[in-house]
Each structure stands twice: as C-alpha cells, then as structure tokens.
Chain A
C-alpha cells in the first residue's frame, strides 16, 4: 500500500543553519504531496504542498520539490529560526475518492539560539 518515510529526529540545529528533512514515498499513480507542521500543544497546519511532478511548494521560507524520479519531497529552509522548532510531517494524498492523508512518522526540529 501507499506509504511515506521520513527521517527520524530529533534534528537539532543552531539558528540560521540550513535545514533539510528527507521524505520519500511509495504510491500507486501520482499522489499530491504535503508538509504539515505541528507546534507544541496544537493541531497540524499545512506548510506547503505540490500536486504534480516538478512542482515546488513554498511557504515562510520553506521549500519542497515533487521529484517523481526519486519519489521524494524533501523539505528545505535556508536559515532556520528558533520559532521553527516544531514537528514536521510529510504526507501524501492518493488520487482516489477519499482524499485521505497518509503520514510519515514526523520529524521533531529543535532550533537553538
């Protein structure tokens, strides 16, 4: 079945460091891909998305490119801030009538001042 694999955390970085969180997927067909972020004690918020191959999603300095050839959707940010500390989830939505989300296990990011 469809699945998402993302790098285990926690990832600890200093402020202004470069961030990469790896995400790969297995799916039948061409799913939509998402990154969601969860701040402590809150629900999930959409960070960015891409719906077809070579699309780049971007938001708040974060970027991810839908790579069909490598089945990947890695999250990057050039300069992280303390306020980026959160748990990041990669997810896919298969192109079926449910529009459900299949999530990776999440990666906790801790940014130190």
Chain B
C-alpha cells in the first residue's frame, strides 16, 4: 500500500465545466500516473509524471492536462468536460526499492459528466 488518496471520490458535473481531480501520496515515489477505466478497455494511461514539473502524455491524453508542483500531489484537469470523459479515474505511483516495477493504485474517482 503506497498511501494513495484520491479526491473527490465521486463527482457529477455538467458538460463544458472544468474539473480537477487530485492524487496525493505519502511514500515520496517519483513516478505517478493517471489512468481511466472504461468497460471493455481495461485501464488506459492518460498522463504520467517522472518528477516535479516533469510530465508526459499517455495513450488517451486529448482533453486532459496535468500538473505536479510537489512530489506528493499529481493533479488531473479536464479543461472543459465532455460526456465521453465519464469514467472511473485511477491514480498510481511506481514503487521504489525492490518494487521499482510495481505500480500501486489509489481507490479511484468516479466522474459523471451530464
């Protein structure tokens, strides 16, 4: 368990509004990830970060931006939410030491865009 929390856990919003999801970790892990989970697709990578202010795009990054100003926090922003962004969003961190190839996941945020 990498001490990962996500907020909010549930959110309902309307099309066109901005939304920010927060991921917070307590293990000082360098790498952090945002995935979305949709039926039939498993989890798909949106963006990831390999250090403070260092981020890169994943497979499904269109319509999303991220920021990481502190090691412990990784924010995902939907600038103008659309119904296609209704999903469950998971944050993950990459373990250190003997677990350097293992990702640890947060509990998820369920986002509904009406």
Contact = CB atoms under 8 A, between A and B. Distances in A.
Interface of A: 4, 32, 34, 36, 42-46, 49, 51, 89, 91, 93, 97-106
13 contacts: A4-B42, A34-B102, A36-B105, A42-B107, A43-B106, A44-B90, A45-B105, A49-B102, A99-B94, A101-B43, A101-B45, A101-B92, A101-B103
Contact of B33 (A32, A34, A97, A100): A100
A42 B108 CA distance: 7
Interface in B25-67: 31, 33, 35, 40-45, 48, 50, 56, 58
A34 B99 CA distance: 12
B21 to A, nearest CB: 14
B107 A104 contact: no
Given A42-B107, A43-B106, A99 B42 contact: no
Interface in B71-98: 90, 92, 94
Contacts, number: 55
A106 to B, nearest CB: 5
Contacts of B103: 46, 99, 101
Contacts of A4: 42
B50 A103 contact: no
Contacts of B35: 101
Given A99-B31, A103-B42, A104-B42, A43 B101 contact: no
A43 B90 contact: yes
Nearest to B4: A43
Contacts of B40: 105
A100 B35 CA distance: 10
A66 B102 CA distance: 16
Nearest to B108: A43
- Which 5 residue pairs are nearest across A and B when measured between Cβ atoms? A103-B42, A43-B105, A44-B105, A103-B43, A105-B42
A91 B41 CA distance: 12
Contacts of A103: 42-44
Contacts of B4: 43
B45 A100 contact: yes
Contact of B56 (A42, A45, A98): A98
